[in-house]
Amino acid sequence: MKLTFYNTLTKQKEEFKPINSNKVKMYSCGPTVYSYAHIGNFRTYIFMDTLRRVLKYNGYELKHVMNITDVGHLESDADEGEDKMEKAARKENKKPYEIAEYYTEIFFKDMEKLNIDKPEIVTKATENINQMIEYVQEIIKNGYAYETSKGIYFDISKLDKYPVLSNRKLEEQIAGARVDVDLEKKNPYDFALWIKAPANHIMKWESPWGLSYPGWHLECSAMGRRFLGEEFDIHTGGVDHIPTHHENEIAQAKGATAKIPARTWLHCEYLLVDGGKMSKSLGNTYTISQLQEKGISPLAYKLFCFTAHYRNKLNFTFDGAAGAQKALERLYDAYLKNLNGTDNVENAIIEEYKQKFETYINDDMNMPGAMSVIWEIARNAKKSNKFAELLLELDKVLGLDIKNAQRYLAEFDKTQNNEDLPEDVKKLVEERTQARLNKNWSKSDELRDIIIAKGYSIKDTKDGIIVEKEK
Ligand code: AMP
Ligand code: ZN
């Protein structure tokens, strides 16, 4: 069956054909590990996971790289402000590497809770410094970059076209980037490939340009080429990467290799909250643990994400998420009922559902459409083991771990009992979650002891916090 994706580069839906017939090479921009990833970030990783699953369902093998940004991502995408990692390290009075390790571990725990498959290759920026230096040297050698007292800058005027990915005009690009006037730069919109480290910058490496560190855009170009070669099939990220990060990755690749690195560029739209972007800098974020605290399981959040196409904005509300929680329970329930069902169902009906589902997922990953087929199956008056098998087969794309339905329903029952707790205990549980998020372990232990003293047990499980009255 034909598989199509909307390509941000060509601004149209295209039939997908990998460079090598069976193996898809793909690069995804990974998290900057200076803080907890929020559910907006995870919308983009859920989209990445669905893409992986759709490709596999279509019979492709994957070589998928995701990076961990542990140096060089400055506060603004356009080379302004402090390095996010270093700022967090100073605030938390830790080494940047400790910060990176801590948040990376939690990121992957959340990925696991969301049943997101780990890419074949996960690589940290700081593990690729030599390849990055070489990449900058090639860009310089080809005449696309120059040195200033601050670092090595890409010379945009050398390109035939910039921008190519966003529809922005260059003047808007400049305004959008809020670029400071830097008289050493040839053009205000030239961007840093390599940054000379001020004395107080902790993460820095010996390079032909002195003690310094890579720019964020350069990191992804070098890691993509190291593991996937000069040209690969797919590049993914959130829509905020279109105007600067990915635009600059393309510019760098043109400078180093004269090629656009990926053929198909896919971008996930924002998760909104109260109609605005959910983002760490705006302070309006929720983590997966905070959702669990309110009785929304990670996989219910995944299901919530399927209610909108990845290229449309999605507004997060707790009512919406609670609806998804109920829907997930209905789905698990339907699976279990069908598992023991004895009704006779013709194979043609199974095939029809399957075809409909495949048509939706292969049409630029239309997950709301795909879910409508799932609900048709779940609502079918007949109960048959064939439907249960079909749901398991289609779950290869959804990744809702339907085969463990029984276990989840039992866990949900327990976490939902949390809702019946007295207000003072509920408040203590919430305060404890907040303390844990702030890594205030002594406060968290103290609150646990108070909860226990009130006659309750408290357990942290994969699917949420379970608080029960001691018998
Ligand atoms: P960061 O860790 O900030 O580099 O972001 C990780 C990923 O999350 C990137 O692909 C971003 O584009 C994406 N992202 C950030 N905020 C949101 C949001 N509100 N909705 C969807 N994706 C987001
Ligand atoms: Zn990137």
DSSP output for 136-199: HHHHHHTT-EEE-SSEEEE-GGGSS-S-SSS---HHHHHHHHTPPP-TTSSSTT--EEEEEPPT
Q: What is the CA(178)–ligand 2 centre distance, in A?
A: 20
For the segment 40-44, the average pLDDT, to the nearest whole number, is 98
Task: Output the pTM of the full model.
Answer: 0.90
Confidence category of residue 423, pLDDT binned at 50, 70, 90: confident
Expressed in angstroms and rounded, the spacing between residue 209 Cα and the centre of ligand 2 is: 23
pLDDT category of residue 421 using cuts at 50, 70 and 90 = confident
The pLDDT value recorded for residue 179 is 52
Q: Given the CA of residue 240, which atom of ligand 1 is nearest to it?
A: 12
Residue 176 in this model has a pLDDT that exceeds 70:
no
Mutate to test the pocket of ligand 1, among 38, 44, 51, 75 (most ligand atoms within 8 A of CB): 44
Q: 32 CB less than 6 Å from ligand 1?
A: yes
Ligand found nearest the CA of 252: 2
Q: Whose CA is nearest to atom 12 of ligand 1?
A: 238
* Whether the CB of 271 sits within 6 Å of ligand 1: yes
- Position 455 pLDDT exceeds 80: yes
User: Whose structure tokens read 């400790």?
Assistant: 98
pLDDT in tens, 307-356: 999 999 999 999 999 999 999 999 999 999 999 999 999 999 999 999 99
Indicate if ligand 1 lies below 6 Å from the C-beta of 41: yes
Whether residue 413 is predicted with pLDDT greater than 90 in this model: the reply is no
pLDDT computed for residue 193 by the predictor: 97
Q: How far apart are CA 269 and CA 262, in angstroms?
A: 20
First-to-final CA distance of the chain: 57
Between the CA of 305 and the centroid of ligand 1 the distance, in Å, is: 14
- Cβ–ligand 1 distance for 67 under 6 Å, the answer no
Cα 146 from Cα 114, distance rounded (Å): 44
* pLDDT tens-digit series, residues 184-241: 999 988 999 999 998 888 999 999 999 999 999 999 999 999 999 999 999 999 999 9
Residue 462 confidence (pLDDT) above 70: no
pLDDT band at 378 (very low <50, low <70, confident <90, very high): very high
Q: Is the CB of 238 under 6 A from ligand 1?
A: yes
pLDDT at 77 over 80: no
* DSSP element (H, E) containing 75: strand 74-76
- Reply yes or no on whether the pLDDT at 169 is more than 90: no
Evaluated on CA atoms 69, 74, 76, 78, the torsion sign reads negative
Segment (H or E) for 21: none
Q: Which ligand is nearest to the CA of 237?
A: 1
Tell the residue number behind the tokens 């948040």, with chain if given.
103
Q: Is the CB of 31 under 6 A from ligand 1?
A: yes
> 29: Cβ below 6 Å to ligand 1?
yes
Nearest CA to ligand 1 atom 8: 41
100 lines ligand 1 (CB under 6 A): no
Query: Ligand 1 centre from 136 Cα, in Å?
Result: 26
Cα distance between residue 98 and residue 439, in whole Å:
13
What is the radius of gyration, based on Cα positions, of the chain? 24
Is there an atom of ligand 1 within 6 Å of 116 CB?
no
Q: Which of 71-75, 166-170, 200-204 has the highest mean pLDDT?
A: 200-204
Ligand 2 centre distance from Cα of residue 218 (Å): 8
Q: How many A from CA of 30 to the centre of ligand 2?
A: 7
Q: What is the distance between the alpha carbons of residues 360 and 231, in angstroms, rounded to a whole number?
A: 29
Question: Among 166, 240, 249, 304, which residue has the most ligand 1 atoms within 8 Å of its CB, making it the best to mutate?
Answer: 240
Per-residue pLDDT tens digits for 272-281:
998 888 987 7
Angle (deg, nearest 10), helices 216-228 and 129-141: 100
In this prediction, residue 173 has a pLDDT band, given cuts at 50, 70 and 90, of low
HSE (side-chain half, CA atoms, 13 Å) at 348:
0
Whole-number Å distance between alpha carbons of 442 and 448: 10
In terms of phi and psi (left: phi > 0; alpha: psi -120 to 50; beta: otherwise), the region of 91 is alpha
In the prediction, which pLDDT does 414 show? 78
The domains of the chain, with CATH numbers, are: 4-268 (3.40.50.620), 273-413 (1.10.730.10), 421-469 (no CATH)
Q: How far, in Å, from the CA of 288 to the mean position of ligand 1?
A: 14
pLDDT given at position 463:
64
* pLDDT of 33: 95
243 CB near ligand 1 (under 6 Å): no
Residue 442 has what pLDDT? 87
Pocket test for ligand 1, best of 39, 41, 77, 271 (most atoms within 8 A of CB): 41
Looking at residue 273, its pLDDT comes to: 92
**Which residue has the CA at smallest separation from atom 15 of ligand 1?**
41
Any atom of ligand 1 within 6 Å of the Cβ of 237: yes
Q: Alpha-carbon distance 347 to 352, whole Å?
A: 9
Identify whether the C-beta of residue 198 lies closer than 8 Å to the C-beta of residue 35: no
**pLDDT band (50, 70, 90) for residue 177:** low
Q: Is 278 near ligand 1, meaning CB less than 6 Å away?
A: yes
Residue 314 is predicted with a pLDDT of 98
Residue 391 has pLDDT above 70, yes or no: yes
Decide: 190 and 156 in contact? Cβ < 8 Å. Answer: yes
For the CA of 28, the closest atom of ligand 1 is 10
